[in-house]
Amino acid sequence: MENKSWTRIIKTDKNQRSRIAELSVRNKKIVTPLFMPVATQGSVKALSSDDLINVGTQCLLSNTYHLYLRPGLDVLKKFGGLGNFMRYPKAILTDSGGFQVYSLSRLRKITEQGVHFSSHIDGSSHFFTPEKVIDYESAINSDIWTHLDVCVKNPPQYSEAKEALRKTKLWAKRSIDHFKKITQEAEEKPKLMAIIQGSIFKDLRKEAIEYATELGFDGFALGGLSVGESKKQMFETLDYIMENIPKDRPVYFMGLGDPVDIWMATKLGVDMYDCVLPTRNARNGQALTTYGKVYIKNAQYKNDDTVLDNECDCYTCKNYSRSYISHLYKSGELLSHRLLSIHNIRFLLKQTDMMKKAINEDRFDESFNEFLNKYNQK
C-alpha cells in the first residue's frame, strides 16, 4: 500500500482541520473537498456522462451490489470495466455492497464467512464474501474500492455494534490480503479504503480506526453515520473520529449530501462525500440554491422569468427560466429531471470549490458563515 504517495495535502486552513488534498490514482487526479454523484446502476439518474463531465465532476460512486446483479460482471468485463461501459473517463469509487445487502435484499444471513442474501430483483440466492467483493470490484475496474462490512439496524444496541465491528475487522483483514494478492502485478493499482464502523460509540470507533490504520488501508470511509441518529450525535461522533484518525490519508463520509452538513464535516476535516440527494431532490422538483431550497412546482414560479440561482454557472441556469422548468416539471416532462439534476450537482460541486478557495485564503470558518447567512435567508 502506498498511502503517502497517493495523498498530497496541499493546504490546511488556519482552523487546523479543513484541508485541500490531491489524490492520485491510476493516472487520475482528484482534488478534495470532493463531492461524488451516485451512479447506482452505472448511471447518475437522468444524466449522460457528457453532462457529468460538463458539470465538473471528478469522480462518481457506483454500487457493487447493483452492478453485480445487473448488468452482471461478465458484461462489465467484456467492456473492460464500468468506466468504458458508461463512457465516463474520470475516477470511479465503488462501495462494497454491504449497505445494499442490508437495506435492499431479502432473507439475509450473515455468517463468519460472508453474507447470504436474495436478490431484490428476482429473489435469486447469492453469497458475498470479502474476497468475492474484491474480485467484483476488480471486474468493475473502479479506481477506489471499499471492503465488505457488516451493517446493523439503526440505532443499534452497543452489543450489536460491537459484534458488527468484530466481523467487519475480520473481513477487513481478509479483504486487504486478497486485494494485495490480486493487484500485486497491476501497473496502475487501485486504492482500497477501510470502512470505519462503530455507530455512535466512541470506543468502537477508536478500535475501528486503530485496526484499519494498522492494516495499512489507503483511506478511511466512515459508515454508520447519517443513518437516523440526531445531528448532534452525528457531529459529536464525527468530531471524535476526526480527532483520532491519521491525517495522511483521505477520509470519506459515506452518504452525506446536505450542503450545510458537508460544510460542517469539511470544517471537521473530512475530504470526500457522496449522496443521491441532488438527483433525488431534482426528481422531486426541488432545487438547491444559494438562497435556500426552491420547490419548483410552487405557484409563485409559474411566471418567474429569473433563473434557478443567479449565482450559478450551470447549463440550466445559463439557459432556462424557473417558469420553464416549473412548466416541464408540472407536465411530467423528463427534461425537468435532467435540468434540475445538472443544477443540483453543480450547486454541490460549487460548494466544494468555495471551500477550496476559503481554505486557500485561510478563511474557512468565515466562508462557512457567509454560506449559512445566504442559504438560511428564506
Catalytic residues: 95, 274
Q: How far is the CB of 15 from Zn ion (least distance, A)?
A: 29
Interaction of residue 314 with Zn ion, rule CB under 5 A: yes
Q: How far is the CB of 69 from Zn ion (least distance, A)?
A: 34
Take residue 241 and report the three cell numbers written for it.
473520529
Interaction of residue 312 with Zn ion, rule CB under 5 A: yes
Residue linked to cell 493499482: 189
Interaction of residue 317 with Zn ion, rule CB under 5 A: yes
- For 28, the 3-state DSSP assignment is strand
- Residue pair 16/2 in contact (Cβ under 8 Å)? The answer is no
DSSP for 144-195, written as a single string: EEE-------SSPPHHHHHHHHHHHHHHHHHHHHHHHHHHTT-SS--EEEEE
Q: What is the DSSP letter of 30?
A: E
Take residue 163 and report the three cell numbers written for it.
459484534
Q: How far is the CB of 197 from Zn ion (least distance, A)?
A: 36
Take residue 46 and report the three cell numbers written for it.
437522468
Q: How far is the CB of 257 from Zn ion (least distance, A)?
A: 17
Interaction of residue 148 with Zn ion, rule CB under 5 A: no
Pairing, β 191-196 against β 144-146:
parallel
Give the interface segment with Zn ion, choosing from 192-200, 310-318, 357-365, 370-378 (CB under 5 A): 310-318
**Cis amide bond preceding 33, omega within 30:** yes
Residue placing its CB nearer to Zn ion in the complex, 298 or 310 = 310
For 63, list phi and psi in degrees, rounded to 5.
Answer: -110, 120
Residue placing its CB nearer to Zn ion in the complex, 124 or 377 = 377
Q: How far is CA 367 from CA 196, 243, 252, in A?
A: 29, 22, 22
Interaction of residue 350 with Zn ion, rule CB under 5 A: no
Interaction of residue 343 with Zn ion, rule CB under 5 A: yes
Q: How far is the CB of 351 from Zn ion (least distance, A)?
A: 12
70-109 footprint of Zn ion as x/- string (CB under 5 A):
----------------------------------------
Residue placing its CB nearer to Zn ion in the complex, 195 or 340 = 340
Give the interface segment with Zn ion, choosing from 90-98, 129-137, 264-272, 337-345 (CB under 5 A): 337-345
Interaction of residue 322 with Zn ion, rule CB under 5 A: no
Residue placing its CB nearer to Zn ion in the complex, 242 or 287 = 287
Take residue 305 and report the three cell numbers written for it.
422569468
DSSP for 233-256, written as a single string: HHHHHHHHHHHHS-SSS-EEETT-
Residue placing its CB nearer to Zn ion in the complex, 56 or 71 = 56
Give the interface segment with Zn ion, choosing from 150-158, 198-206, 321-329, 342-350 (CB under 5 A): 342-350
- Residue pair 1/218 in contact (Cβ under 8 Å)? The answer is yes
Q: How far is the CB of 348 from Zn ion (least distance, A)?
A: 11
**How far is the C-alpha of 161 from the C-alpha of 369, rounded, in Å?**
35
Residue placing its CB nearer to Zn ion in the complex, 86 or 312 = 312
Give the interface segment with Zn ion, choosing from 27-35, 241-249, 311-319, 369-377 (CB under 5 A): 311-319
Q: How far is the CB of 180 from Zn ion (least distance, A)?
A: 44
Helix (H) or strand (E) holding 92: strand 91-95
Give the interface segment with Zn ion, choosing from 101-109, 153-161, 322-330, 340-348 (CB under 5 A): 340-348
Residues in the chain, overall count: 378
Residue linked to cell 451490489: 65
Q: How far is the CB of 106 from Zn ion (least distance, A)?
A: 40
Give the interface segment with Zn ion, choosing from 102-110, 168-176, 224-232, 315-323 (CB under 5 A): 315-323
Interaction of residue 169 with Zn ion, rule CB under 5 A: no
Residue placing its CB nearer to Zn ion in the complex, 253 or 371 = 371
**How far is the C-alpha of 89 from the C-alpha of 82, rounded, in Å?**
10
Residue placing its CB nearer to Zn ion in the complex, 115 or 317 = 317
Task: Count the residues of the shown chain that bind Zn ion, applying the rule CB under 5 A.
Answer: 5
**How far is the C-alpha of 1 from the C-alpha of 19, rounded, in Å?**
23
- For 218, the 3-state DSSP assignment is coil
Which chain residues interact with Zn ion by CB under 5 A?
312, 314, 316-317, 343
